[in-house]
Chains A and B, each alone.
Chain A
Amino acid sequence: MSPHVGQTIILPSRGSDPSSNLGRSIFTYNKMAKKLVGFIAYTALVALFIILSIDFYLSREHYDPSIDAFLGNSEKYEGKYSKFAGPVINVSGSSFYMRVNQRPLKVYHANLEKPKFGQVYVWARLNSDGTAEAIEVHNFSYNYAKYFLSFFAFILFLLIFFREWKFKGWRLVENA
């Protein structure tokens, strides 16, 4: 009778027991069974990751429209609200132009002070003519410095991480 997964097996010693080949086979069987369980669990996790990503993608209607979607069909999104950020292109008395994901957008807001070395954050009501009426505006001045710092932080991360780990094939093993 073949052993079932998880069954405790006492391995016979190689030299003294003539059935040591059987013991080794059972050991290999258990090892393979463990690998199979691991493979199934990992596949289930990947499937869950994909299913949730698709479900979230399909739930976009529950969230504020993106500026891409709005500029593609501004009449559809008239009266809706959206939050976005981007660099300011130019400022006039009652409005300003900003760039959101490489697309220019006119936002109505009086006397904006242009942010220094950063973006402007806007929470706005969307108009049918492809413009937006700002409800809240905030300058992320000097916020770009954060990305420079984060670049150096990434180098720091690599130093911390690879002090402990090294690649061996496609896996990471402890750095002795």
Chain B
Amino acid sequence: MPDWISHILIGLIFAEIFSIRKKGLVVFGSLLPDFAVKVHLFGAFFHVSDKLAFVTQLYHSPVMGLIIPGLAVPFFRYDWKKTYLFITSGFMLHLFADSFTRLYHDGILLYPFSYGYFSFGLLWPEQYWIVIIASLAVYVLIKLAKFSIKKFDLQ
């Protein structure tokens, strides 16, 4: 899976393309799937229950991408439809970005209809730098394009 810088950049790219003013919500959604799943990283320091680590995999699935943002919505005093849409967009973008990486825990795409894992399997986790460079390049290009259009409009 890509690192969090890539996930943030992908969220920001999406927000720039669709001119979303509340970029923070998209970025929040784009990190949300990892907040629970990363519990397995504590295994580097102490033993983590394999049952707990197993259940957290579910929070990396599209069905939870529809439920978890709904649970977060009441914490925001803002238009609930927009809040839900922006957080969900970020969440789904995270899953999409992760699906390019080959992992020992691939995404559970069709749960609860299927228990199968899914991944395009194009990159290994240590090749995260490819995603960083690509997403950074796209983000800079979009920013430059927007800046040029704005400058052109002013003239």
Contact = CB atoms under 8 A, between A and B. Distances in A.
B143 to A, nearest CB: 14
A168 B78 CA distance: 13
B5 A149 contact: yes
Interface stretch (A25-33, A51-59, A89-97, A104-112): A51-59
Q: Chain A interface residue count: which class?
A: 35 or more
B47 interface: yes
A67 B43 CA distance: 12
Contacts of A153: 3-5, 7-8
B81 interface: no
Nearest to B132: A149
A45 B71 contact: yes
Contacts, number: 133
A157 B23 contact: no
A172 B54 CA distance: 31
A168 B3 CA distance: 31
A66 B54 contact: yes
A149 B4 contact: yes
B6 to A, nearest CB: 8
A17 to B, nearest CB: 31
Interface of B: 3-5, 7-8, 12, 22-25, 27-28, 31, 40-41, 43-44, 46-51, 53-55, 57-58, 63-64, 67-68, 70-71, 74-78, 104-105, 111-112, 115, 124-126, 128, 132
Top-4 shortest CB links A-B: A153-B4, A83-B104, A66-B50, A68-B50
